[in-house]
Amino acid sequence: MPDTKTRKPVRISRTGMPAGVDLLHDPSLNKGTGFTEEERDALALRGLLPPRVHTQDEQVARTMGNFRLKDTDLGKYVHMIALQDRNETLFYRVILDHLEEMMPIIYTPTVGKACQEYGHIFRRPRGLFITKRDRGRMTNVLRNWSYVDVRIIVVTDGERILGLGDLGADGMGIPVGKLSLYTACAGVHPSQCLPITLDVGTNNESLLEDPLYIGIKEKRMRGQEYDDFIDEFVHAVREVFPHALVQMEDFGNTNAFRLLDKYREKMCTFNDDIQGTGAVALAGIYSALRITRGKLTDQTVLFQGAGEAAVGIANITTSAMVAEGLPENEARGRQWFVDSKGLVVKSRTDLADHKLPYAHDHEPVADFLAAVEALKPTAIIGVSGQPATFTQPVIEAVSRLNERPIVFSLSNPTSKSECTAEEAYTWSKGKAIFASGSPFDPVTLDGKTYVPGQGNNAYIFPGVGLGAIACEVRRVTDEMFFVASKTLANLVSEDDLAKGRVYPSLTMIREVSAAIATAVAEVACARDLAGKARPADLEEHVRSQMYVPDYESYV
């Protein structure tokens, strides 16, 4: 046991906060060289820092200089996580000031690589890991967290990380990354955010054989044992953090739909892969229809993939078509899926429950290209995690059938994208209205520059979460995602559309989140789902909740 007598006890300043080295080691309070002369005297920092006091802008410049020296995206990711561990306020200031450069690093596509290497780049724990060894004491584990007013929890069991599959406990990079976006994009205070990984084992043999894997080396928990584990977790959250919204993230298809169905009426929760993806894709379709001058009720959508994302998009698109006057059976009949075994049709006997509502009467079709020719879709949406499945013949076919085909290649990370922006524009001869899950650079073709939109869920879920916090929503409903989708689409400018971009610039993300949060809060108040009385000025109330990463004065 270390000799504690050789180390000074934690120093507390007259302001009641840590002082000296202990203050410098607290990322939520540390300002590094940004501490003023007065603070250095009052907080016992004199001599512990270089003498020069730097402004936050100067610190940002230093951070970006070092960031741009890194020669790999993974190196940049590690650099930024180290900053988050050291100086949280500066971390979020850097992100906000350089959002378009930072988003691909702190989240997709780089976060996918970070999760694949998580055990090898691991430096300092963030969030909570809960395993089956914690059965019977999950409330105690949750109470180990440093903050008591948690309002947003992002939780995963690591079974379906992006398009990369089962990464077990290494999937913690997803909750950490998502919550960074809650703060950066919507101003949810970092102290209100809690990332959680439910380590229920992994079936990934390479991880089970990796000596640096950070999780338990057991096969995945299944069946009743798994259900009991999740149930205890849900009850523990409701007891310890009663006002928290729980965002379920990257659960496998076998669990994602049924867990959402089981708990959505019992607590404040949603599944971003299903509902968030659905909302952001529908917003992109609405924007695309402003370009084509088409009607939503006239569209036929063909999905490459039939998992959580595909069903989520199909569900919300069906609801939107119904809202615009189409009978539900006709609206559902305009959504078609192709999975690994071909077109999803009624005659198949191998369909999972979540596919059945979209199994229509049609002869079997073996592959995606044949499905395009048979169904003549106006939009194709890739959410399969299978790269290069929107081939040149597919893009040429859908372009022959439509004057302006909608082509959304939404699988993440970039390595899993169904096609690139350049391929979509080139093969369609500039006709495609393209969006992707991961970012692609603008493409110049025949003298015209096309700016691809990124169908990033960060346009949706941070605003939904902010709205939930603002009025203490008791349940998250599909209507909230529908209004979030409409709000996002309405924020796309004519200039964006002229460039082919169906989403607003990421530089607008805080305005987008504030608008979505206000719309979500309006629904909550109108449907008696708010735990607080409606304020006189709801938008002003929402904006007052948004954290700004500027240094506070400690003296």
Q: Catalytic residue positions?
A: 107, 178
Cis previous bond, 9, omega within 30: no
Cα–Cα dist 483/520, whole Å: 7
Q: DSSP strand E in 180-329: where? A: 193-199, 245-248, 269-271, 301-304
* φ, ψ of residue 128 in degrees (nearest 5): -120, 140
Q: How far is CA 323 from the centre of its chain?
A: 27
Q: Which of 147, 151, 175, 150 is nearest to 161 (CA)?
A: 175
Q: Return the exposure string of 193-214: e unless at least 16 CB atoms fall within 10 Å of the residue's CB, then b.
A: bbbbbbbbbbebeebbeeeebb
The structure tokens listed for 439 are 């970012």
Q: Which of 197, 134, 148 is nearest to 168 (CA)?
A: 197
Q: What is the DSSP letter of 275?
A: I
> Using alpha carbons only, how large is the chain's radius of gyration in Å?
24
Cα–Cα dist 24/353, whole Å: 53
Contact 455, 408 (CB under 8 A): yes
Cα–Cα dist 555/15, whole Å: 7
Indicate if the alpha-carbon torsion angle 481, 252, 234, 131 is positive or negative. negative
Angle between helices 478-490 and 277-292 (to 10 degrees): 40
Cα–Cα dist 391/394, whole Å: 5
